Amino acid sequence: MRLRFLLYALIGLAAVAGVVAWVFHVQRGAHMRLEGSILKVRTLATDANSSVALIDFRVTNQADYTWMVRSVDVSVIDGQGYLVEGSTIADPDAARLFDYFPLLGQKFNDSLTMRSRILPHQTVDRMIGVRFEIPEAQVLARKNLKIRISEVDRGESEIEENPAR
């Protein structure tokens, strides 16, 4: 009797585990998240106490649904370990920076702006311009750089710079 009960209990647990695994498998594309990496960071000193960073990055929409951008925020942890939030630069102003300062090189990617769409399972290269209220030397000596991309339905993903730059 005990052996029979144990056998039925194991069969029941296996069936429940199978159903749970199937549910997770079916829902794998429903979680809204972006995966990505920072490709290149270019900096420019605008004055003695502020600087601009132009960040090229690659991002992939892992979900089965379109990701519509609500906002993009960038922060940096400087050499002393302080978190500094940046102010994003409008796309036309970023284009002017490239025109006025040829030392920055060319603008390779479109900017990631509000209401940009990233289709399901699509990989795109984008750029974001950010102004920091710290000197360029502190941005260059950073420990980490983080891009936070928010979605209109309150989803949020972060892309961090590889610490081994």
The Cα-based distances of 1 to 7, 9, 12 in angstroms read 10, 12, 17
Mean pLDDT to the nearest integer, 98-123: 92
The answer to whether the beta carbons of residues 111 and 129 sit under 8 Å apart is: yes
Residue 155: partners with Cβ closer than 8 Å, 6 or more residues away: 32, 33, 67
pLDDT at 157: 93
Question: Which pLDDT value is given to residue 30?
Answer: 62
Q: What is the DSSP letter of 4?
A: H
Closest to 139 in 3D by CA, of 127, 129, 150: 129
Instruction: State the pLDDT at residue 165.
Output: 52
H or E segment at 38?
strand 34-47
Could you tell me if 87 and 151 lie in one domain?
Answer: yes
**How many structural domains compose the chain?**
2
Q: How confident is the model at residue 4 (pLDDT cuts 50, 70, 90)?
A: confident
pLDDT digits (tens, 9 = 90+) for 17-76: 998 888 877 766 567 889 999 999 999 999 999 999 999 999 999 988 999 999 999 999
Q: What percentage of the chain's residues is helix, strand, coil (to nearest 5)?
A: 25, 40, 30
Buried b (16+ CB within 10 A) or exposed e, 81-117: eeeeebebbebeebeebbeeeeebeebebebbeeebe
Reported as a pLDDT band with limits 50, 70 and 90, residue 154 is confident
Query: What's the chain's average pLDDT?
Result: 90
Instruction: Indicate whether 90 and 15 sit together in one domain.
Output: no
- The domain of 55 spans 34-160
65 in any annotated domain? yes
The pLDDT of residue 133 is above 70: yes
Residue 155 has pLDDT above 90, yes or no: no
Residue 13: predicted pLDDT: 92
pTM: 0.80
In this prediction, residues 117-145 reach a mean pLDDT of 94
Identify the CATH number of the domain in which residue 144 sits.
2.60.40
pLDDT of residue 27: 65
Q: Indicate whether 128 belongs to any domain.
A: yes
User: Smallest Cα–Cα separation from 71: which of 36, 113, 33?
Assistant: 113
Classify residue 165: in a domain, yes or no: no
Q: Show the CA angle centred on residue 138, arms to residues 135 and 141, nearest 5°.
A: 150
